[in-house]
């Protein structure tokens, strides 16, 4: 186990800074489940942070010209190249430290905020390249399971049979015909120092993962579940309820992978709730037939058991 993580002591809620680095008054929708993890991450990382934001909802709602909600250095880039730009910033900081322009021991966090479209699809090869090169940055994928800011088109992160504008549910085809891409498996296979999944409902778990990601030397990746009331047809007041149900139904297990070899299950779900409790809160799934819900339940059970087994077999050493 990495020494910086082996010795890690979790953040205490009483010790969290009161300052927010995203200003209020941004233009997120009511009940937005994406801006919340962004805000919590910056609360952990603090002001000595440079944020890279790919095209997506968080770029749209925080930077309508001539306004900005960012209280830290921030750069907006295209859908695909946020990981590449973060790599360049990392290289620039290292060069400036070599030249004595920046103190060698100064800690500067580099964090990418990108949606599922920019990560699962358009930017995947750029993410892969940056992880493979070992650049020192944190990549946070805010997964609202479609291209929300451009009209709710399906992405590689869209769940099976979900209705979107490009996978409409009709009489012949009942929504998106593919299962959600196994992004977590792809990222973990890069053997990066730190990978984790997180849900905003379990906010201390998430914030501790952001802190761990900032401690490791090299790339870190956090996959965050992010409900979208507008695109999902859910109620804004149900956002946190959905964030809990996604874990309690076993659809989105919370776990970590260290160096690609140690798996840690953060929340074991012994008595899972049926996936129907989660699905029925969203209009994008209202067309599903009982046999289709049963098919999804079967797939969720299989995926959870696989992750749980990985965490059992590849647990970190106890020392």
Q: What pLDDT score was predicted for residue 319?
A: 67
Peptide bond into 66 cis (omega under 30): yes
The helix or strand, by DSSP H or E, that contains position 76, with its residue range, turns out to be: strand 74-77
Give strand pairing partners of 255.
265
**What are the two backbone dihedrals, phi and then psi, of residue 2, each rounded to the nearest 5 degrees?**
-60, 135
The residues that bridge with 77 in the sheet, in sequence order, are 54
Give the pLDDT confidence of 255-266 residue by residue, as tens digits.
999 999 999 999
pLDDT at position 7, please?
84
Tokens at 168, concatenated: 């409409």
- Summarised one tens digit per residue, pLDDT across range 92-111 is 999 999 999 999 999 999 99
pLDDT in tens, 11-43: 988 888 889 999 989 999 999 999 999 999 999
The string of DSSP letters for 116-164 reads HIIIIIITHHHHHHHHHHT---EEEEEE-SSBTTTT-B--TTPPTT--B
Burial code (b: 16+ CB inside 10 Å, e: under 16) for 233-268 equals ebeeebbbbbbebbbbbbbbbbbbbbbbebbbbbee
pTM for the full predicted model = 0.96
- Place 188 in a pLDDT band, splitting at 50, 70 and 90: very high
Which of the listed CATH numbers 3.20.20.140, 3.40.50.880, 3.30.70.890, 3.40.50.970 matches domain 3-314? Answer: 3.40.50.970
The predicted structure's pLDDT at residue 159: 97
Question: CA-CA distance, 33 to 243, in Å (whole number)?
Answer: 8
């Amino acid at each position: 186990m990495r020494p910086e993580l082996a010795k890690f002591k979790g953040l205490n809620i009483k010790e969290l800074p009161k300052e927010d680095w995203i200003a209020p008054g941004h233009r997120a929708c009511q009940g937005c489940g994406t801006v919340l993890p962004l805000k919590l991450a910056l609360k952990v990382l603090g002001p000595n942070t440079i944020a890279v934001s790919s095209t997506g909802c968080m770029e749209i709602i925080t930077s309508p010209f001539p306004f900005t909600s960012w209280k830290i250095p921030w750069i907006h880039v295209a859908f695909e190249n946020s990981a590449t730009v973060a790599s360049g910033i990392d290289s620039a900081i290292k060069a400036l430290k070599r030249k004595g322009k920046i103190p060698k021991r100064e800690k500067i966090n580099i964090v990418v905020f990108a949606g599922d479209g920019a990560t699962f699809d358009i930017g995947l090869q750029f993410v892969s390249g940056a992880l493979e090169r070992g650049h020192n940055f944190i990549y946070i994928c805010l997964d609202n399971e479609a291209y929300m800011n451009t009209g709710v088109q399906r992405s590689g992160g869209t769940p099976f049979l979900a209705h979107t504008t490009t996978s409409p549910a009709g009489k012949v085809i009942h929504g998106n015909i593919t299962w959600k891409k196994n992004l977590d498996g792809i990222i973990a296979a890069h053997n990066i120092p730190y990978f984790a999944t997180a849900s905003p409902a379990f906010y201390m778990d998430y914030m501790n993962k952001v802190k761990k990601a900032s401690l490791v030397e090299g790339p870190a990746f956090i996959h965050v579940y992010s409900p979208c009331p507008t695109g999902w047809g859910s109620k804004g007041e149900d956002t946190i309820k959905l964030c809990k149900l996604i874990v309690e139904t076993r659809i989105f297990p919370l776990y970590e992978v260290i160096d690609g070899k140690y798996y840690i299950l953060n929340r074991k779900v012994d008595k899972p709730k049926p996936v129907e409790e989660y699905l029925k809160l969203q209009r994008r799934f209202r067309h599903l037939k009982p046999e289709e819900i049963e098919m999804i339940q079967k797939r969720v059970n299989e995926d959870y058991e696989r992750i749980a087994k990985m965490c059992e077999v590849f647990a970190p050493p106890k020392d």
